[in-house]
Homo-oligomer: A and B are copies of this chain.
Amino acid sequence: MTLSGLFTPVATPFIDDEVDEAGLRANIRKYMATGLTGIVALGSNGEAVQLDEDEADRVVAIARDEVPSGRPLIAGTGRESTRATIAATRRAAALGADAVLVRTPAFFKQLMSADVFIRHYTAVADASPVPVLLYNVTMYTGVALQVEAVARLSAHPNIVGIKDSGSDVTLIADFLAQSAPGFTVLAGSGVAYYSALAAGAHGAVLALAGVATDACVEIRALVEAGRMAEARALQQRLVPLARLIGGQYAVPGLKAALDLLGYRGGLPRPPLGPVPPAVIDQLATALEAAGLSPTRPVAAS
């Protein structure tokens, strides 16, 4: 199963601070009717760090229920310790995940050397029943897997790729140039999506693709067809939306955008709060600019 293509990290909806399992199920079902290659459960945008272990397992189980076996289901299983990461990885695999996306450990920042990362990911990949994707999300972790470490890890038979959430496309290009053949490089920045594809990325995992799904699918098709100017123009229409649900408002922004599009978004888990009302207007405008038709839900008025 190839992991090239376009994925979205599904949000985890809550009702009264409990996982809204029906809402999660409904959202995934809708995604399965789009051109998305597959989904990521328990990504950063899925508020994975806010879920306990039982909740995390339920999310994977529900996702597997809704994602047909022909389409890839990736589960986020990164934890601080190697031992907890392996445990989460094994549980996710047992629940049907096709691959795991393993965020770097990050708490003891100054200790997170290439050697530590290599030891960690090698142990996880050795123990994992399913293929492992490395995961750099420096904006949240404050640490980064560098090119040399990724190049070395790419030689491990069970480490099949990396998602890099940054907008530095020279890093994406380096990962592509330095890694083992067949190693999949996925972008994670909506703002830099076109540029990452132009640099040769094999696909992306984008919160943006959870709202502007068709446009994200089309940008990839345009780049593959060499229609760069059209791809750039379409990307540019998505930039304001990418900014709002990316760096600026993140999960609360994504959830508000989902609400505007008929998905189950709702409130993030505290201490995260909802976006301010004015941002909902900005989101509606940005969604329209991206060619979508946002509708204020009745419940939100």
Give the interface of A toward B (CB within 8 A). 17, 44, 49-50, 52, 80-84, 105, 107-111, 115-117, 119-120, 123, 139-140, 142, 167-170, 173-174, 177, 189, 191-192, 194-195, 198-200, 226, 228-229, 232, 235-236, 239, 247-252, 269-273
Contacts and interface: CB of A to CB of B under 8 A. Distances in A.
Contacts of A111: 249-252, 272
A50 to B, nearest CB: 4
Contact of A167 (B168, B229, B247): B168
Given A192-B170, A272-B116, A140 B108 contact: yes
6 contacts: A49-B80, A50-B80, A108-B250, A111-B249, A115-B273, A119-B271
Given A170-B192, A251-B108, A123 B270 contact: yes
A224 to B, nearest CB: 10
Contact of A228 (B169, B170, B198, B236): B198
Contact of A139 (B50, B109, B229, B247): B109
Contacts of A191: 170
B198 A236 contact: no
Ranked 6 nearest A-B pairs via Cβ: A120-B271, A198-B198, A50-B81, A82-B270, A142-B142, A49-B80
Contacts of A120: 270-271
A142 B144 CA distance: 14
Nearest to A248: B110
Contact of A250 (B110, B177, B251): B110
Given A226-B228, A232-B200, A270 B169 contact: no
A76 B142 CA distance: 22
Contacts of A84: 50, 52
A194 B170 CA distance: 9
A270 B236 contact: no
A111 B44 CA distance: 13
Contacts of A249: 111
Contacts of A199: 194-195, 198, 232
Contacts of A200: 229, 232
Contacts of A272: 108, 111, 116
A109 B177 contact: no
Contact of A81 (B123, B142, B269): B269
